Amino acid sequence: MWKYMSFLFVLFYSCANSSSSSETTSATTTSSTNISKPQSFENNAEKGVEAPKEGVKDNGAPAKFSVKFKENVSGLTYLIGTYADQNVRMDSSRVSANTASFDKPEGYPQGLYYVIFPDNKFVQIMLGEDQTFSMETSLNDPSQTSVKGSIENELFYENMKYERAHRTKMQPVTDKLKSLDKESAEYTKAMAERKVLVSEREAHLAAIAKKHPNSFYVKFKQAGQNPTLREDLPDEEQVAAYRNEFWDNVDFSDIRIMRTPVIKNKLNRYFTEITPQNPDAIRDAADNLLNRVLDYPRYYQFFANWIVFKYEPTKTTLMDAEAVFVHMIQNYFTYNRAFWSDSTQVYGLQLRAHEMAQSLIGQEGPNVTANDQYGKPQTLFDKTADYLVVYLFNPTCEHCAVETPKLVELYNREKGKGHLDVYSIVVDTDDKEWKDYLKNNNIEFTSVFDPTNKAIYAKYFVNVTPEVYVLNKDRTIIGKNLKIEQVEEVIRRDQQK
């Protein structure tokens, strides 16, 4: 398998508050050194993103709290916090008299925590500004929890009881709706019941927010709420509105929410469940989210890195994941915005995106001219077949050994009909290895090799071999990242347009 340079990103964790050094994680970007900044990569008109200001206080007041368990317990417990999509061990306590006690003069970063035992039994606690309190609870039944001295935890556990009771009422109605015809009177009646229950819950949460407007728990709870489904809109528009409003309840000025599971859960649902898995939809969803957090650097850094990692081209089955990567790098990993990276790292990422950007689906395919095995120049666009397959391969590639015979078979079946032709480009090899491969595989279609790579650089991007592109009559790229058996289906779909 042949690869261009691999790459990683300097992650957002280095942006964590210095008081939370246990949360710091880093990675490096592979890129060339001693390279001047190319002006073409700079967008001076874009709004920059400033690094978080030093001294921003994430921690609460001095911490001194205890958790007493109704069960007979012993041994160590651990205080586990969250930052973005990472769980972090913040402290430990040896249980004494069924009680775990935690004491930290500088306080803990404000967020949602788990007091967890080695057998994975746990209780949850909220640490806001005031971190002096006590609570008694049961590992088996959190509804038995009582709290003294912490409004955040009082609200947390009181509302937990409410939510449990509310689910008991809501679940039968939800189950009933699934079994009914939407046009029936019974369905209309069940929907009315559901709306009443939803309204009751909304009123309950609104009352808490009104009574405790500055509570961390309120911010946390509001951030986790989903938008109201716009039932007055057609189905497709409902989904679009839901997606566009998905982040409206999150206060991005409050970094404490980053230290709860809400952000990672919403992020995963936003991209995995409610965003169609195609590059255009993913880019639009990314823009909607990232443009909300340009003034909130730690959210911006986490979101930008998370999206790029999720759709990293070698780790996803998404066709043309490079389109997402290119969009993200060219718009959000720029010199003005990627404050966590130095100029060399940004240059490396921008260069990588530039190489990918020339061969995205929907664009006109680049023309290529290089010499064949006889030393004769062969030009891709001199071919006149309706559809062209551009096949990038390496003679020692295991996957190429599987796909090349399939391509030979397809070509032999279609040659001379004017319907399909093949232009193959060999990479990362030598002249003898290439020519032996052509002979051993009975390859009759065009094959070219440029030992300098100048003829193909920044034209048809290949990260792993084989890479398969399909161009239509207009020489527009209509497929990539394909198996050979997918080529005819891609052509069939293009013909039906």
Residue 290 vs residues 99, 229, 338: alpha-carbon distances, Å: 43, 23, 13
Q: Rounded to an integer, what is the distance from CA 119 to the centroid of its chain?
A: 31
Helices (H), 25-150: none
How many Cβ atoms are within 10 Å of 34's Cβ, its own excluded? 5
Q: Rounded to an integer, what is the distance from CA 99 to the centroid of its chain?
A: 40
Residue 133 vs residues 62, 298, 319, 478: alpha-carbon distances, Å: 11, 29, 53, 62
3-state secondary structure (DSSP) of residue 470: strand
User: What's the CA angle centered on 188, arms 187 and 194, to 5 degrees?
Assistant: 85
3-state secondary structure (DSSP) of residue 387: strand
User: What's the CA angle centered on 333, arms 331 and 338, to 5 degrees?
Assistant: 130
SS (H, E, C) 183-215: CCHHHHHHHHHHHHHHHHHHHHHHHHHHHCCCC
How many whole angstroms separate alpha carbon 378 and alpha carbon 387? Answer: 17
So what's the pLDDT on residue 26?
A: 27
How many whole angstroms separate alpha carbon 385 and alpha carbon 482? Answer: 20
How many whole angstroms separate alpha carbon 236 and alpha carbon 246? Answer: 15
So what's the pLDDT on residue 37?
A: 35
Task: List the structure tokens of 206.
Answer: 């609104």
* Beta carbons within 8 Å of 318's beta carbon, 6+ residues apart: 277, 278, 279, 282, 311, 324
How many whole angstroms separate alpha carbon 265 and alpha carbon 112? Answer: 14
Q: Rounded to an integer, what is the distance from CA 391 to the centroid of its chain?
A: 30
- In order along its 497 residues, the chain shows pLDDT tens digits of 333 333 333 433 333 333 333 332 222 232 332 223 333 444 444 677 776 764 446 899 999 999 999 999 999 999 999 999 999 999 999 999 999 999 999 999 999 999 999 999 999 999 999 999 999 999 999 999 999 999 999 999 999 999 999 999 999 999 999 999 989 999 999 999 999 999 999 999 999 999 999 999 999 999 999 998 887 888 888 889 999 999 999 999 999 999 999 999 999 999 999 999 999 999 999 999 999 999 999 999 999 999 999 998 888 888 899 999 999 999 999 999 999 999 999 999 999 999 999 999 999 999 999 999 999 999 999 999 999 999 999 999 999 999 999 999 999 999 989 999 999 999 999 999 999 999 999 999 999 999 999 999 999 999 899 999 999 999 999 999 999 999 999 999 999 98
Facing residues of 136 across strands? 68, 146
* Beta carbons within 8 Å of 171's beta carbon, 6+ residues apart: none
Task: List the structure tokens of 229.
Answer: 């489904």
So what's the pLDDT on residue 43?
A: 47
DSSP assignment letter at 59: B
In the sheet with 132-137, reading across from the earlier edge strand, the strands are 99-104, 63-69, 132-137, 146-148
CA dihedral for 392, 29, 340, 13, sign (positive or negative) = positive
So what's the pLDDT on residue 46?
A: 66
So what's the pLDDT on residue 294?
A: 95
Task: List the structure tokens of 64.
Answer: 């001194």
455 in Cβ contact with 448 (< 8 Å): yes
β-pairing, 76-83 vs 446-448, is unpaired
For residues 282, 283, 289, 290, the Cα torsion angle rounded to the nearest 10 degrees is 140
So what's the pLDDT on residue 314?
A: 83
Peptide bond into 234 cis (omega under 30): no
Burial of 461 (0-12, 13-18, 19+ CB in 10 A): buried
β-pairing, 63-69 vs 132-137, is parallel
**pTM attached to this predicted model:** 0.84
Residue 464 vs residues 249, 256, 315, 476: alpha-carbon distances, Å: 42, 41, 11, 22
- Closest to 362 in 3D by CA, of 472, 487, 495: 472
How many whole angstroms separate alpha carbon 199 and alpha carbon 220? Answer: 20
